Amino acid sequence: MRLPRFEYLRPSSLYECLELLEGSGHESRIMAGGTDFLVSLKQGVISPQKVISIRSVPELGSVSEDAEGNLQIGACANLSDLVKHSLVLKKLPALHDAISSVGSMHIRNMATIGGNLCLAPRCWYYNQSKQWRHAVEGCYRTGGKVCHAISGSKRCHAINSSDTAPMLIALGARVCLQKKDNKRWISLREFFRDDGRHHTVLEKGEMLTSVIIPCETGKDRSTFIKIQHRKGLDFAIGSIGASVKGNGRKKEISLIINSISSVPLFLAKAAETVMESGFNESAIGKAAEIARGETGAVTNLFTSAGYKRQIVEVLVKRALSSLKRK
């Protein structure tokens, strides 16, 4: 499979990168690790005129700890480097598990954290070769007016498969979005959009530049679980990032599930059940059952909505049991 032609731009500073992005608008796309982007390009899912390679932008590759102990990771920080990073290993073992579960060693050696967060949603219809797609009329994502994953649907139902997103949301991460003359911090939970058109809130000329993760203190604990068809190099059928912050009555539990619909989902009611009744067997069972009904799982990517709901129940049960033990 050959790549289509494009103009290649390689900024050497963040300022230059933002300037290029501002100047080229919708014709350009950002490429970090390229492990997902180049596949989409080969399949003709996207065909930008300009590709901005941000690998060698020095500001984007740093990992540091601020005065309060929060971890700040540049968008271009490599996943393999992060897995081995002492701060990640020491302070955020669950994030370590989430990153280790992405792709294969080869993929992690190339991929970046920003790339994994901005990962384009996937679908069993359009993540195929051009010839395959052309056998039927185009879908919402490819310029048509149908959805082949869910017939009769009025929107695209591609699935967000990022593994780091649910974990980072559960940890309360915030992301920095930068334009040439503007910089804003938003919570990662607000970064994703569920309208079936754009999967993130990134505006024209804007890019994700870093992630900041609040430090865990005292009895804070977190866990990550991913279910996939095979144990290596596969996207998730369902993944969960879960965390408990605080203790006793002030305890706050976050349960975030991904890979079952277009956005990472916040299981508020299930978390509330455990917050009220504590970590006991019956509360965990009840929370898992509630979680099942709380999700908008869709039939796409090799599993049905019903199966995905079952996965949600299992994941919630396992995650809460793991948090109880920790």
Contacts with other proteins by CB under 8 A lie at 1-8, 10, 34-35, 38-39, 42, 51, 53, 55, 80, 103-107, 109-110, 231-233
Measured from the CB atom, the residue of 102 and 283 that comes closer to other proteins is 102
Residue 88 beta carbon to other proteins: minimum distance, rounded to whole angstroms: 17
Residues 6+ apart with CB under 8 A from 27: 48, 49, 50
Strands (E) in the chain, as ranges, are: 7-9, 28-31, 50-53, 63-65, 71-74, 174-179, 182-187, 207-213, 221-228, 236-245, 252-258, 265-266
- Asked whether 316 and 323 are in contact (CB, 8 A), the reply is no
Residue 110 beta carbon to other proteins: minimum distance, rounded to whole angstroms: 5
- Asked whether 244 and 217 are in contact (CB, 8 A), the reply is no
Residue 44 beta carbon to other proteins: minimum distance, rounded to whole angstroms: 13
Measured from the CB atom, the residue of 56 and 280 that comes closer to other proteins is 56
Q: How far is CA 3 from CA 127, 154, 192, 289, in A?
A: 15, 32, 28, 46
Measure the CA–CA gap between 31 and 210, rounded to whole angstroms: 15
Measure the CA–CA gap between 121 and 293, rounded to whole angstroms: 23
Measured from the CB atom, the residue of 24 and 80 that comes closer to other proteins is 80
- Asked whether 162 and 116 are in contact (CB, 8 A), the reply is yes
Strands, sheet with 236-245, edge to edge from the N-terminal-most edge strand: 221-228, 236-245, 252-258, 265-266
Q: How far is CA 216 from CA 68, 115, 157, 187, 321, in A?
A: 11, 24, 35, 17, 19
Measured from the CB atom, the residue of 158 and 288 that comes closer to other proteins is 158
Residue 119 beta carbon to other proteins: minimum distance, rounded to whole angstroms: 13
Measure the CA–CA gap between 257 and 237, rounded to whole angstroms: 11
The candidate with the shortest Cα–Cα distance to 33, out of 108, 111, 118, is 111
Measured from the CB atom, the residue of 132 and 185 that comes closer to other proteins is 132
Residue 230 beta carbon to other proteins: minimum distance, rounded to whole angstroms: 9
The first and second tokens of residue 123, run together, are 């679908």
Residue 251 beta carbon to other proteins: minimum distance, rounded to whole angstroms: 35
Residue 109 beta carbon to other proteins: minimum distance, rounded to whole angstroms: 4
Give how far the C-alpha of residue 44 lies from the chain's centroid of Cα atoms, to the nearest Å: 22
The first and second tokens of residue 96, run together, are 């370590």
Residue 48 beta carbon to other proteins: minimum distance, rounded to whole angstroms: 11
Residue 158 beta carbon to other proteins: minimum distance, rounded to whole angstroms: 17
Measured from the CB atom, the residue of 3 and 89 that comes closer to other proteins is 3
Measured from the CB atom, the residue of 10 and 318 that comes closer to other proteins is 10
The torsion defined by the Cα of 162, 145, 194 and 114, in degrees rounded to 10, comes to 30
Measured from the CB atom, the residue of 46 and 233 that comes closer to other proteins is 233
Measured from the CB atom, the residue of 101 and 222 that comes closer to other proteins is 101
The β-bridge relationship of strands 252-258 and 236-245 is: antiparallel
